[in-house]
Amino acid sequence: MQWLQGILLRVTNEVANDWWRDAVVYQVYPRSFADGNGDGTGDLIGVYDKLEYLSALGVDAIWLSPFYTSPLADGGYDVADYCDVDPRFGTLADFDLLIGRAHELNIRVIVDIVPNHSSSEHPWFREALAGIGRDRYIFRDQPNDWESIFGGPAWTQVPDGQWYLHLFDPSQPDFNWSHPDVHAFFKDVLRFWLQRGVDGFRIDVAHGMIKADGLPDVGALGHRQIELMTTAELPYFDQDGVHEIYREWRPILDEYGAMAVAEAWVSSPARLARYIGRDELHQAFNFDFMVAEFDAKSFRVVIEKSLAEAELVGAPTTWVLSNHDKPRHVTRYGGLARARAATLLMLSLPGSAYLYNGEELGLDEVTDLPPELREDPAFLRTGESRDGCRVPIPWAEGAWTNPWLPMPARWDAITADKQEHDPGSTLNFYRQAIRLRRGFRGDIQWLDVADGVLSFRRGDRRVVLNTSQSPVPIEGTVLMASGPVTDTLPPDTAVWLADR
DSSP, res 89 = T
Q: Which is nearer to ligand GLC, 72 or 198 (CB)?
A: 72
Cα-Cα-Cα-Cα torsion 138, 144, 148, 152, nearest 10 degrees, comes to: 130
Q: Which is nearer to ligand GLC, 74 or 375 (CB)?
A: 74
Q: Phi and psi dihedrals of 470, rounded to 5?
A: -125, 155
Half-sphere exposure of 404 (CA within 13 A, CB side): 23
89 belongs to the binding site for ligand GLC (CB under 6 A): no
| Least distance CB 265 / ligand GLC (angstroms) | 8
Q: Which is nearer to ligand GLC, 350 or 377 (CB)?
A: 377
**Which of 26, 168, 193, 237 forms a contact with ligand GLC (CB under 6 A)?**
168
- HEC profile for 65-77? CCCEECCCCCCCC
Which of 221, 128, 217 lies closest to 176 in space, CA to CA?
128
What whole-number distance in Å separates Cα of residue 408 and Cα of residue 462? 38
Instruction: Give the Cβ contact number of residue 382 at 10 Å.
Output: 16
Number of residues that bind ligand GLC (CB under 6 A): 9
Q: Which is nearer to ligand GLC, 77 or 237 (CB)?
A: 77
- Contacts of ligand GLC in 96-115 (CB under 6 A): 114
Torsion sign across C-alpha atoms 220, 77, 108, 62? negative
Burial profile 390-416: b = 16 or more Cβ within 10 angstroms, e = fewer:
bbbbbbeeebbeebbbebeeebeebbb
- The contact pattern for ligand GLC, residues 458-477, with x = CB under 6 A and - = no contact, is --------------------
Q: Which is nearer to ligand GLC, 238 or 492 (CB)?
A: 238
311 belongs to the catalytic site: no
Catalytic residue (choose from 135, 227, 255, 499)? 255
Residue nearest to ligand GLC (CB): 77
Beta strands in 225-290 (DSSP E): 259-262, 283-284
| Least distance CB 115 / ligand GLC (angstroms) | 10
233 belongs to the binding site for ligand GLC (CB under 6 A): no
Contact 65, 76 (CB under 8 A): yes
What whole-number distance in Å separates Cα of residue 431 and Cα of residue 273? 32
**Which of 26, 68, 77, 155 forms a contact with ligand GLC (CB under 6 A)?**
77
84 belongs to the binding site for ligand GLC (CB under 6 A): no
- Contacts of ligand GLC in 175-204 (CB under 6 A): 204
Q: Which is nearer to ligand GLC, 45 or 234 (CB)?
A: 234
| Least distance CB 69 / ligand GLC (angstroms) | 15
| Least distance CB 231 / ligand GLC (angstroms) | 18
Contact 360, 430 (CB under 8 A): yes
Catalytic residue (choose from 35, 43, 78, 204)? 204
Contact 199, 258 (CB under 8 A): yes
- Contacts of ligand GLC in 285-324 (CB under 6 A): 324
- Using CB atoms within 10 Å of the CB of residue 15, give its burial: 0 to 12 exposed, 13 to 18 middle, 19+ buried: exposed
What whole-number distance in Å separates Cα of residue 4 and Cα of residue 26? 37
| Least distance CB 116 / ligand GLC (angstroms) | 7
325 belongs to the binding site for ligand GLC (CB under 6 A): yes
- The contact pattern for ligand GLC, residues 381-420, with x = CB under 6 A and - = no contact, is ----------------------------------------
What whole-number distance in Å separates Cα of residue 120 and Cα of residue 374? 21
204 belongs to the catalytic site: yes
- Contacts of ligand GLC in 414-443 (CB under 6 A): none
205 belongs to the binding site for ligand GLC (CB under 6 A): yes
What whole-number distance in Å separates Cα of residue 483 and Cα of residue 223? 42
74 belongs to the binding site for ligand GLC (CB under 6 A): yes
Report the catalytic residues: 204, 255
Residues that bind ligand GLC (CB under 6 A): 74, 77, 114, 168, 204-205, 263, 324-325
